Amino acid sequence: MARRSNIDGLPEDVRRWLERALAENNFSGYQALEEMMRERGYSISKSAIHRYGQKIERRFAAIKASTEAARFLTEGAADDQDARSEAVIALVQTELFESIVNLQEADEEGLKPEDRISLLSAAAKNIATLARASVNQKKFRLEVQARVEAAATAAEKIAKKGGLSPAAAAEIRKSILGITG
């Protein structure tokens, strides 16, 4: 079992300060952070700070992805291309990713190998289900796009055949495809 990080043993306020400093420095400047920690009375190597920074950076990325997906969900636009389902799948995938990262970190905290295998097995099953849902959603979106394109082409031909100018026919096509200009 891997030993616990020195950073995990820091007082809460010092650890939170370090997390903010890592984020503000864009997860770089580990040497300077090591010196600042030393000035505060803590002997934490730049390597330990880097490892901890990577862990925090992964969490920030997962949170950012979840936030973006949630924003996308609430935009309230028409859902012709099943965008909400795509966003929900992205949210769940982000959560699964975060869970796997936490599981990897849990190895350091004494998780039994058989429990770890069980959790990984459950995650793999859920990931497979999500992958199928994602593939089906993308297939549906492509089918809808193809039907819309065919309808736009047919409408354009009918408009031209009916005597509309090429500009008017192009305007109808753009309207069907949802292109604004």
pTM over 0.75: no
- Other Cβ atoms less than 10 A from the Cβ of 47: the count is 10
Residue 70 has a pLDDT of 63
Give residue limits of the domains in the chain: 1-76, 80-180
Q: Residues 6 or more apart from 71 whose CB is under 8 A from it?
A: none
Query: How far is residue 129 from each of residues 95, 96, 118, 134, 137, measured CA to CA in Å?
Result: 14, 12, 17, 9, 12
146 vs 181: CA distance, rounded Å: 21
Residue 30 has a pLDDT of 92
Mean pLDDT in runs of 10 for the chain (181 residues)? 73 90 90 93 92 86 73 57 68 75 64 75 78 82 84 81 81 74 48
Q: Quick check: 145 and 81 in contact, CB under 8 A?
A: yes
